[in-house]
A and B are shown apart, each in its own frame.
Chain A
Amino acid sequence: MNEFAKSHKFLKIVFGLGLFIILCLGGYSYKHIQQLSDTRDNITHTYEITLELERMLAQVYYAKANHRGFIISQDSVFLHPFITNKVKIVGHLYNLEVLTKSNDVQHKNLDTLSTDVRSLISYLDQTISYNQSQLREPDTLKNVFINSRYKEDLIRTRTTNMVDLENDVLEIRQSENSQVLNYTPIILYSVLILTLILLMLAYARITHDINYLKRINRTLDLYKNSSQQAEIIGQNGTWIWNIDDNTFEFSDNFYRLMGVHPKNINDGLDTFLSNVHKNDRAQLKRHIIKMKTEEHPPFMNYRIIDPNYNVKHFKVYGQLVETKDGQKQIIGTTADITADVENLYTIENRNRELEHNNKELSTFNYVASHDLQEPLRKIQTFLSRLEIEDKHSLSQKGLHYIERVKSSAARMRMLIDDLLQYSRTNKSDKKFIDTDINNIINDVLEELSPSIKSTGAIINVDEFPKMKVTPFQMHQLFVNIINNAIKYRKENVTPKVNITYNEVKSNTVKPLQQSLFKYFHNISITDNGIGFDEAHADKIFILFKRLHKEKYDGTGIGLSICKKIVDNHNGYILASGEPNVGAKFDIYIPFLR
C-alpha cells in the first residue's frame, strides 16, 4: 500500500508538471503571436506612412501643376483643383501626424516636412494672389518657379529621408522579431516532446498501478472467498453497524446463522433485536452500549429465535471504529455456539452421571470396606471363640468343618482386602510428594520381615534418589512385588531379590518412546523364583488373572494394583520372565529435569 501511495504522489507531480508546462507553453505561444502581430503592425505602419508620404508628395505635385496652370492661364479651372489639393495635403499631413506619434524622430522630421510643405503652400498661395501685372514681370515668375522648385526638392528629399528612416526602423524590428521567431518552433517542439514523455511516464505508472490494484483485488477476492468459507466452517458471521444512520451490513453467513434470507433483517437495530430471545434482549442492549464506549468490550453470549422457532446460542464481539469521514461504526463478529453449548450441556450431564457413578462406586467401597468386612470379621471372631471355648464338646468332623469355614473366611478376607486396595488406588486425588524411596523400601522390608525371615530371603537394594510420588502407593507397589518375589520362590532355593535403580532416557527404551516425558526412573526388581512364560507377560497385570492358580494362594489382584499405581504416576510397568529362572519387573516413573 505504501508503494501505492508513493505512486499516487508521483502521478500528482507528473500531472502538475504537465499542466504547468502546458500553461507556460500557452503563455509563450501567446507572446509569440503577439510578436508576430506586432511585426505585421509595424510593416503596415511603415507602409501607411510611406503611402501617406507618397500621396502627400503627389498632391504637392498636383498642387504645383495646378498652380502653374493657373499662373500661366489665369484660368480658374486650375484654381479649384489647387484648393482641393491643398485640403488633401493638410489631410495627409494630419494622418502622418497621427501615424508618427509613436516615433519622436519621425515626428520631428514630419514637423520640418509639414513646415516646408506649409511654406511651399503659403508661397504658392501668395503667388496666386498676385495680379496679372505682377505676374508679367519675368523675374517674379522666374522666382516663383525657382522658389517652388527649391521647396519642392526640399520636400521630396525630406520625404525620401522619412521613408528611408521608416524602412530602416522596419528592418531592425523585423530582424529582431525574426531572430525570436526562429527559436520558437524548436522550443515548442522540445517542450511538446518533454510533455509527451511525462505523459508516457504517467501512463506507465498508471498501468503499473492498475495491475497492482488488479492483483490486490484478486487477493482480496480470494480472502473474501476464504473468509466466507471460514465463516461457514467456523459458524460465524461478520457485521458492520453504521450507528449514525442505524443500518447494518451483514455477511452472507450471518444471515445463514440467523436462518433468514439475505437482506431480510437490514432494518436497523430494533428489527435485529426482535429476533433476540426476549430474556436476553435487555442485556444485549446494555452490551451494545458498552461496545459503543469501551475500547475492548467483553464477549457476550445471547440467544436468538430463528424463523423456525429454534433457539440458537450466539456469541458476539464488536468494536467501535470511526471511518475517515467521521462516521461511527461497530464492526463485529458473531459466532453460533449452539453446538458448543449443547455439547457443554451434554458434558455437564455426563459429568453429573460420572459423579453419580463415582459416588456409587465410593459407596460400594464403603460397603466393601466396612459393611462386608464387619460380618466377615465377626464370623471369624465367633469361629475363634467356638474353636477355643467348645473345643472339647465338638466332634472331629465339627472341628474339621470349622477349619474349612475358617479357611474360606480367610480367603474371602483376602479378596475383600485386595479388592479394596485395588479400588482405593483408583483415587486420582492423591498428591505427589518428594519422597525418599530408600525410606519407603526400608519400611516395606520391615513390614515383610516375617516372611523374609522365615524364608531366609536375601534382598539387595540399590541407593535410590528422591522421587515425586504418592508415598502410600509406592509403598504398596513395593510390598506387592517383593511379596510376589518371595511367594513364588523355588522350593529349596533361597529366594534372592535384587532391587536396582537406573535413570533412563525415554528414547532408549522401546515402550517409552511414545511418552511425552524425556527422563524416567527405572526401578528393576529381579527374583530367582519360579518365573513365568514370557508369553503371559501381558496377561500378568490383568485383574483376577492368575498364572499359578493350582499351587499358590492368591487373588489375582496384586499386580493389577501395581499396574494401576504405576499408571497413576504416568509410568510404565513391564514384566519379563523365564520359567524356573525368575521374574523381572521394570518400573518406569517419569520425571522432569
Chain B
Amino acid sequence: MTITFKFNYNKICNTLLEEKLKAHHIEFQSLGNGEVEILGKPSEEVLDIFYKEIHSYGIDVVENPKLILVQKIKDLIKDLIFNTDISTNVKTSVYLAEALNKNYSYLASIFSEITYTSIENYIILQKIEYAKTLIIKENLTLTEIAHKLNYSSVAHLSRQFKNTTGITPSAFERIILMRKKEHNHPL
C-alpha cells in the first residue's frame, strides 16, 4: 500500500521553530515567513545551544550581509545606467564582479534570492524605467533615448520596452498623457 502525503513546508518549519523557542524558554513574537523577534534578553549560551539544535533540522540564522551586498549591486547598476561616464565597453558581470571582488555567479544567486529577479532582468527594468522618465519628463524622441541608453537601435529599445511592459513606448506616452489630463495626476 502506497500512501502519498502532502506537506506544507512553511507550516512545518514555523511550528518546529516555535516549539524549539518555547523549549529553550526564549520569549519571542513570531513575525511569520521565518522571522522571529526575541523579546527578552537570553544569554549568549542559551542562544548558542538553540542555534545548534535548529541547525540539525536544516534551519539557520540569516545574517544581514546578503542584503547589504544586494544593495551594493543595485547601487552599482544604477551608477552604470544613469552615469554615462562609466565605460560601457565592460560587461556588467565583469564590472560587478571586479567592483565587489566577488564571483559573479555568487552575486547573481544572492541577488535573485533577495529580489526575486535576476541581475540582468533588474538592469533591463531599470533601463526601461529610465526610458519612461525620459519619455515623459525630457520629451526626448525614441531615437535620442535609444542612443542615451546605449541601445543598438530604436527597434531594440522598443522591443525591450514592449517585452518588459507589454505596451509600446508610444502607447505608454499616450496613456500617461491621458492620465495627466484626466486626473491631473502628479507625475
Contacts and interface: CB of A to CB of B under 8 A. Distances in A.
Interface stretch (B27-35, B55-63, B113-121, B155-163): B155-163
Contacts of B162: 443, 446
A494 interface: no
Nearest to A439: B170
A439 B154 CA distance: 11
A443 B170 contact: yes
Contacts of A443: 158, 162, 168, 170-171
Contacts of A449: 159
A442 interface: yes
A542 B168 CA distance: 32
B170 A446 contact: no
B139 to A, nearest CB: 16
B165 to A, nearest CB: 12
A440 to B, nearest CB: 9
A238 to B, nearest CB: 57
A442 B157 CA distance: 11
Interface bin, chain B: under 10
Interface in B81-99: none
Contacts of B158: 442-443, 446
Contacts, number: 18
Chain A binding surface SS class: helix
Contacts of B170: 439, 443
A1 B171 CA distance: 73
A153 to B, nearest CB: 152
Contacts of A442: 154-155, 158, 168
Interface in B106-163: 154-155, 158-159, 162
Interface in A409-468: 439, 442-443, 445-446, 449
B168 to A, nearest CB: 5
Contacts of B168: 439, 442-443, 446
Contacts of B171: 443
A478 to B, nearest CB: 13
A401 to B, nearest CB: 26
A442 B155 CA distance: 7
Interface in A264-294: none
Contacts of B155: 442, 445-446
Nearest to A436: B170
A185 B181 CA distance: 110
A11 to B, nearest CB: 81
Interface of B: 154-155, 158-159, 162, 168, 170-171
Given A439-B168, A442-B154, A443-B168, 15 more contacts: A439-B170, A442-B155, A442-B158, A442-B168, A443-B158, A443-B162, A443-B170, A443-B171, A445-B155, A446-B155, A446-B158, A446-B159, A446-B162, A446-B168, A449-B159
Interface of A: 439, 442-443, 445-446, 449
**8 nearest CB pairs, A to B:** A443-B168, A439-B170, A446-B162, A446-B159, A446-B158, A442-B158, A449-B159, A442-B155
18 contacts: A439-B168, A439-B170, A442-B154, A442-B155, A442-B158, A442-B168, A443-B158, A443-B162, A443-B168, A443-B170, A443-B171, A445-B155, A446-B155, A446-B158, A446-B159, A446-B162, A446-B168, A449-B159
